[in-house]
Amino acid sequence: MHKPLIALVCLASCLLPACSSTPMLADKDRRVAHDEIVGTWKQQNGNTIDFDDWSNNRYGLRIERPDGTVSERMVARLMDLGDVTYMEVLLNDPAKDQPPVYHYGKVEVSGDTMRHWAISPAWLGQQVDESTLVTSTTEAGRPVAMTTDPDALRAVLRKATNDPSAFQQPETLRRVR
């Protein structure tokens, strides 16, 4: 049986097309609802991110840049690993014969403030020797880790949960609606 390839993008805020498909990590048994994420959020770089509530603990995500460029609607799912909530965002359309590319980041919402931590590319690179991950770089220069084993990626995320050096400095977003 052919295993699908999963790619983990370490940086967010890209405007790639996306589609709805069954995710590799935040499957229906691992998804959680955090409805406080629904709304419009402003990033420090001026982008606004809209989260709409969809069914089955799925959220629609759309990014609008200050120049008016708007991304296609992406599917975001939240999952808890231990005491940490991770956001999984499908960034591309695997129906176009591409491997699915997901962004995973730690996320925390408190009132009108959201904090997002991207995984450190340096930390992720150190995990290659300890798992079935392979690192690469996208055409846009974004570092990625690839695997065909969802359990290996889940183990890396669990390890990140307990290692403060696994994450970049948090980005703080403010609710605007």
Domain boundaries, the chain: 6-175
Say whether pLDDT at 130 is over 70.
Answer: no
The rounded distance, in Å, linking the Cα atoms of 70 and 64 is 4
Segment 55-80, tens digit of pLDDT? 878 899 999 999 999 988 888 988 88
What is the average pLDDT score of the chain? 76
- By mean pLDDT, which of 30-34, 44-48, 79-83, 103-107 is the weakest? 30-34
Q: Are 78 and 34 in contact (CB under 8 A)?
A: yes
The rounded distance, in Å, linking the Cα atoms of 159 and 80 is 13
Show the DSSP H helices in 72-149 as ranges. 121-126
Q: How many CA atoms lie within 13 A of 153 on its CB side?
A: 28
pTM for this predicted structure: 0.74
Say whether pLDDT at 6 is over 60.
Answer: no
Say whether pLDDT at 157 is over 80.
Answer: yes
Q: Are 97 and 111 in contact (CB under 8 A)?
A: no
Q: Are 8 and 146 in contact (CB under 8 A)?
A: yes
